[in-house]
Amino acid sequence: MVSMNDRLELAVGAKTAKALSGALELHTVGDLVHYYPRRYAERGQLTDIAGLELGEHATVMARVKSVNERRMREKRGWILEVVLTDGMRTLECKFFNQRHHAAKLKPGVSALFAGKVSIYHNKLQLTNPDYHPLDEDTDVDAIGEFIGLIPVYPATAKVQSWQLARCVRQTLGMLDPMEDPLPDKLRTRHGYISYDEAVRAIHQAKDWAGVNVAKERLKWGEALAVQLALAQRRHAALARPAPVCARKPAGLGAGFDQRLPFTLTAGQREVGEAIAVDLAKEHPMNRLLQGEVGSGKTVVALRAMLQVVDAGRQAALLAPTEVLAAQHARTLAAMLGDLAQAGELGGAEHATRIALLTGSLPAAQRKQALLDVVSGAAGIVIGTHALIQDKVEFADLGLVVVDEQHRFGVEQRDALRTRAGENKSPHVLVMTATPIPRTVAMTVYGDLETSSLRELPAGRSPISTAVVPVAEKPAWLDRAWQRVREEVAAGHQAYVVCPRIGEQQSADEDVNEALESDSDGRRPPLAVLDVAEELAAGQLSGLRLAVLHGRLPTDEKDAVMRSFAAGDLDVVVATTVVEVGVDVPNATAMVIMDADRFGVSQLHQLRGRVGRGKAAGVCLLVTESPAGTATRDRLDAVASTLDGFELARVDLEMRREGDILGATQSGKQSALKLLSLLRDEDLIAEARAEAQALVAHAPDLADFPGLAQMVANLVNDTRAEYLEKV
């Protein structure tokens, strides 16, 4: 017999154990039994060949359609060409100098075939694949291995799916019943099968009903572990003391409200009220504010910051980029006027100061800013996430506002918790324009209260979006540039966005992450530097044009943004540095080159940069991807709606789940294997309610060691990146 922590040698022998650990990082019995099938094949149901992805190591169930043997030129040997079919499409297998396969692969034979999917002369093919013949007529295959459904594991060329199945079968046969982390009462109340039954059934499913029952049970366990961890976090966070910031009737906040040039929307007032109440409490606020691009989150944040300053404390505003931090500093200074000019001529009574801290500040300025922060002279401190997070000493930090956060997760939020004085945790307000589907809100942001701004301030103009398919309609691109010229002629401004900077590559450039994984032989994405040069000499000649990207020195970036904001530039050709928060109301047009290289949410964010003023905005998504492809569908989805929530859903569907909930690709083990944010909304909600009740009863889960262990495993899982990412 073996147990979960035993090395795999004990179960499968040294040679196989070595292959499993080398190819898939499966070292222990537990690793292997928790390595679940990706899908199941059903006897007689051939795998849909159209669904194969180029470059993937695929395992397909197919039937041999025809076999042909021929000599290679110059007598270099023999090629055996086996054509497989799924009944509709064909897939070619080529064996080089392996004529013996012809004896096993006769027309009509069904088998599992595994290999890397490639394309040759426009035809899908597998080269020198591995295969495992099956007998379609009986329940038992050629070597008597599979009964019922055939599990298909994430496999590699070194260890094929059917070899994994054999190892798992052997191992499960030697394993005592596994202990259930869920207390019996809890489990039976929700009607789930036991852990042992579920794990065995997921590998050796007799039928689909069996698979589903097992999956539900295991998913629920995963969801419960996440929700317990989050409930404990919420509980711990709420228990900490916070810097109390009572409202002041005649302070900066009141002064600011009086001079607001517009009336607040109902949403802004409502959320503002909730925040004001929270800030006056003795335990920290942890709130997520979501609101469409342009919904006016900044004002909400500023009013909160002023309440904190009025209470004699400091507020920090963290932005994801230096450009955005600098812009925030300018916007806030302009909005506050003399209220932010303490110590200057004309500064108002009770006035405070704004300190801007960016990495590239000249030494003297930086020193002054740090001094203002540590002395408390600056009530409002603006900087990038990285900077403020680890280096800066505050006199009395009361509130941290995190703006436009995409990659700012639980751990970073935790890092802030120790930043207030006297062992207190500052209040935290996280703002995002990327609408967060409910399931993500319940997991990645599960430790935050959420509020939403659902309406845009009155007088906003609509943005129209269109796809410019250059493959089919090359003339439309000319029309796009003409459109830009028209906008400029009408006194407006435009952005042109490209996925790449160009010329030399550097490690820290802020290109789209998607590019790095791009190895499928497409041409490199268009670059800012090339496109700008071409436009300046051609389609947009005569216009005042500048480039903006992450490789520019900060003061240059700043200068470009400033002259664009001042109307001294007509067109900015930029990377995604303009993605978040940039606010130039006079900009009305955006042309996004190689739009297919960007994600859905990113495109939505980008387009939010136009139509921020009185004039209508237009966004043109330029792409070479042909109609009917998934990529094109994605762009059409962006063009068809301005509803960020709808797009967030599309985005979630498009992204691999692993990107959100920790990696589950072959070889990487994660505590969350089956849970899907897209499909398991109800299950997550149910687990959340259960977790809240359990933690409210006993935060340390003392009565339920199994549950406590489950949470500990999750938290210890060093790859539990789902807590950090969206």
* Residues making contact with ligand ADP (CB under 6 A): 262, 264-265, 268, 291, 293-299, 433, 457, 581, 583, 612
Contact between 581 and Mg ion per CB under 5 A: yes
Site for Mg ion in 185-244 (CB under 5 A): none
Shortest separation between residue 591's beta carbon and ligand ADP, angstroms: 21
Between 306 and 714, name the residue whose CB sits nearer to Mg ion.
306
Between 401 and 695, name the residue whose CB sits nearer to ligand ADP.
401
Between 1 and 334, name the residue whose CB sits nearer to ligand ADP.
334
SS3 144: coil
Shortest separation between residue 373's beta carbon and Mg ion, angstroms: 23
Between 295 and 443, name the residue whose CB sits nearer to ligand ADP.
295
Alpha-carbon distance 675 to 653, whole Å? 14
C-alpha separations of 720 from 33, 223, 225, 701, 712 in Å: 19, 13, 12, 21, 11
Q: How many chain residues interact with Mg ion (CB under 5 A)?
A: 1
Alpha-carbon distance 465 to 636, whole Å? 9
* Pick from 415, 376, 394: nearest CA to 402: 415
Q: Please spell the DSSP secondary structure of 463-512, one letter per residue.
A: EEEEEEETTT-THHHHHHHHHHHHHHHTT-EEEEE-SB--SS--TT----
Q: Is the dihedral of CA 625, 631, 633, 636 positive or negative?
A: negative
Confirm if 375 and 365 have CB atoms less than 8 A apart.
no
Shortest separation between residue 583's beta carbon and ligand ADP, angstroms: 5
Q: What is the dihedral of CA 302, 303, 305, 309, to 10 degrees?
A: 130
Confirm if 400 and 429 have CB atoms less than 8 A apart.
yes
Among Mg ion, ligand ADP, none, the one that 294 touches (CB under a kind-dependent 5 to 8 A) is: ligand ADP
Among ligand ADP, Mg ion, none, the one that 233 touches (CB under a kind-dependent 5 to 8 A) is: none
Contact between 608 and Mg ion per CB under 5 A: no
- Using DSSP bridges, classify how beta strands 110-120 and 130-134 pair: parallel, antiparallel or unpaired: antiparallel
> Which letter does DSSP use for residue 175 in this model?
B
Among Mg ion, ligand ADP, none, the one that 63 touches (CB under a kind-dependent 5 to 8 A) is: none
> Which letter does DSSP use for residue 516 in this model?
G
Shortest separation between residue 521's beta carbon and ligand ADP, angstroms: 38
Shortest separation between residue 424's beta carbon and Mg ion, angstroms: 27
Between 264 and 441, name the residue whose CB sits nearer to ligand ADP.
264
Among ligand ADP, Mg ion, none, the one that 112 touches (CB under a kind-dependent 5 to 8 A) is: none
Between 291 and 426, name the residue whose CB sits nearer to ligand ADP.
291
Shortest separation between residue 430's beta carbon and Mg ion, angstroms: 12
Alpha-carbon distance 230 to 315, whole Å? 26
Between 191 and 261, name the residue whose CB sits nearer to ligand ADP.
261
Between 37 and 294, name the residue whose CB sits nearer to ligand ADP.
294
Q: Interface with Mg ion by CB under 5 A: which range of 145-153, 197-205, 581-589, 685-693?
A: 581-589
Between 243 and 581, name the residue whose CB sits nearer to ligand ADP.
581
Alpha-carbon distance 575 to 476, whole Å? 22
Alpha-carbon distance 428 to 419, whole Å? 11
Shortest separation between residue 321's beta carbon and ligand ADP, angstroms: 14
Angle at 531 between CA 360 and CA 635, to 5 degrees: 95
Shortest separation between residue 303's beta carbon and ligand ADP, angstroms: 11
Between 255 and 581, name the residue whose CB sits nearer to Mg ion.
581
Q: Interface with Mg ion by CB under 5 A: which range of 27-35, 342-350, 512-520, 580-588?
A: 580-588
Alpha-carbon distance 625 to 597, whole Å? 10
Between 409 and 457, name the residue whose CB sits nearer to ligand ADP.
457
* Pick from 493, 495, 497: nearest CA to 570: 493
Shortest separation between residue 430's beta carbon and ligand ADP, angstroms: 13
Among ligand ADP, Mg ion, none, the one that 613 touches (CB under a kind-dependent 5 to 8 A) is: none
Among ligand ADP, Mg ion, none, the one that 264 touches (CB under a kind-dependent 5 to 8 A) is: ligand ADP
Q: Which residue carries 């929270």 as its tokens?
A: 278
- Give me 580's structure tokens: 């978040």
Among Mg ion, ligand ADP, none, the one that 268 touches (CB under a kind-dependent 5 to 8 A) is: ligand ADP
Write the single-letter amino acid at 682: D
- Using DSSP bridges, classify how beta strands 463-469 and 493-497 pair: parallel, antiparallel or unpaired: unpaired
Q: Interface with Mg ion by CB under 5 A: which range of 47-55, 62-70, 532-540, 577-585?
A: 577-585
Shortest separation between residue 578's beta carbon and ligand ADP, angstroms: 13
Which residues contact Mg ion by CB under 5 A?
581
